[in-house]
Structure 1
Amino acid sequence: MPTKTPVKASAKPASATTADRRQAQLGALISAAEKRICESGTHGLKARDLAADIGVALGGLYNIVQDMDALLLLVTARTQGRLDAAFAQQTGHLPMTSRTEAVERLVAVAETYLRFARENLPLWRMMFEVRISAPLPEWAAQDQLRLFRYVGEPLSVVMPHLSAEALTVRARTLFSAVHGVIYIGLEERLIAVPAQQQAEEISWLVRSACGVS
């Protein structure tokens, strides 16, 4: 009786293997950059150090990302993704069928933002410190704008009379006000709201902006 020839599993195409390896290197590079930013900020971030961290030659690093600006955008995108997830987890279950509920959703968003900033201070700070020399790519701009839905959607319930354009401006104004309180506080400036009162004052700020005493 003839023996059957064992069938070998088809090998992965070389291109797929290369793409997988490159993707793994990119993930490792972003993680290495995050670690160094958390340890010493963005100013101490050096391509040579990062290449050594992930075990590639300096020239090889630029086969993974175009330049350091591109890398910082990817680190920012990952941080924004975590912030998005935090907003969704803390506010996604909250109803928003009435004005009162929408205000409470906005307060929850602001408090979540404060908590995220405190727990991820170096990476949170980096999102506003990075200065990209080239125009911001469309995907990066869209990543930023998507976060504003957590402010814009409840605000549209609180202020239904506003046009879409006016609502966008009002959402940015409210975010800027909350961000300013948090930023000044975490930088421990002389005029900062005391740390133990920040959550309370942010809640007051959001409610006051929505016309709730």
Structure 2
Amino acid sequence: MTKALERRAKLRTDLIQTAERMIAERGLAGLKTRDLARAIGCANGAVYNLVTDVDELVLRVGSRTLLRLDEALSTAESTGEPSPRETLVRIAIAYCDFAAENLELWRALFEHRMAADKILPDWSVNDQLQLFRHIYHPLALLFPKRSQEDLGITARSLFSAVHGMVALGLEQKLVAVPLPALRKEIADLVRAMIDGLVARTE
């Protein structure tokens, strides 16, 4: 690799890491290319030589966030009681804890909106979809007769329920719920949903 390519690669890494810190501190709305350029020591326009546009930059930061979330969920999945039901509870609580500890970066995953005519890159779609395996695998053990399509729908429904509780519970408004109480409510919700689904198959 030439020195020019090495410098570009380093600047690109610096840009993504700086954007990550900026979002963590200011939220997605606080991400400014002028501030980013100043922080990494390049011209404002040079930012777009490192990434295609702000959308790509936010998605690259999002991929780093999803990777850390994946690690947190993997740890939760492999630690504790091995029953699929309790594994799903641990995964849900780990998701809640990750969101609370990385609030602005987690929010940015859902707040970022691309133009309607722009297509989400395959690498970004894959980064998102692979996380569903943490929910899918325990569900497949609980419901071995269900089709892959049905398991996928159940996995997304379970995620939506937990995500909704986390999103509302962590709001810094009247609907906010203290984290210990939120963790308990999420555990109760997941157990109730799983017990209800199991009862329907008996």
Same fold (TM over 0.5): yes
Which of 174, 186, 197 is the matching residue for 1:190? 174
**Equivalents in 2 of 1:21, 1:88: separation in Å?**
34
Matched, 1:104 2:72: no
Number of positions where the alignment pairs a residue of Structure 1 with one of Structure 2: 195
Amino acid at match of 1:79: T
Which of 19, 35, 45 is the matching residue for 2:31? 45
Larger relative contact order (Cα-Cα within 8 Å, sequence gap ≥ 6): 2
Which of 161, 181, 196 is the matching residue for 1:177? 161
| Identity across matched positions, percent | 44
| Within-5 A mapping of 1:55-134 | 55-93=41-79, 96=82, 101-133=83-115, 134=118
Q: Please, which runs of 5 or more residues in structure 1 have no aligned partner?
A: 1-12
Matched, 1:159 2:159: no
Q: Please, which runs of 5 or more residues in structure 2 have no aligned partner?
A: none
CA displacement, residues 127-184 of structure 1 (integer Å, 9 cap, x when unaligned) = 0100022210111101100000000110111122321111111100000000111110
CA displacement, residues 42-80 of structure 1 (integer Å, 9 cap, x when unaligned) = 112111111111000112111111110110000000000
Kept after mapping to 1: 8 A contact 2:170/2:177: no
| Within-5 A mapping of 1:14-53 | 14=2, 17-53=3-39
Amino acid at match of 1:117: A
Amino acid at match of 1:23: A
Shift of 1:194: 4.0
Kept after mapping to 2: 8 A contact 1:110/1:203: yes
**Equivalents in 2 of 1:156, 1:188: separation in Å?**
36
Kept after mapping to 2: 8 A contact 1:181/1:192: no
Change (3 A) 1:104 1:22: same
**Equivalents in 2 of 1:154, 1:120: separation in Å?**
26
Shift of 1:192: 4.6
| Higher mean C-alpha deviation, range 184-193 or range 162-171 | 184-193
Kept after mapping to 2: 8 A contact 1:86/1:112: yes
Q: Secondary structure at the match of 1:160?
A: coil
Q: By percentage of residues, which structure has more helix?
A: 2
**Equivalents in 2 of 1:188, 1:48: separation in Å?**
29
CA displacement, residues 102-148 of structure 1 (integer Å, 9 cap, x when unaligned) = 11110110111011011100100110100022210111101100000
Shift of 1:193: 4.2
Alignment partner, residue 9 of structure 1: none
Which of 186, 192, 201 is the matching residue for 1:202? 186
Alignment partner, residue 121 of structure 2: 137
CA RMSD of aligned residues (A): 1.8
Change (3 A) 1:166 1:125: same
Shift of 1:22: 2.0
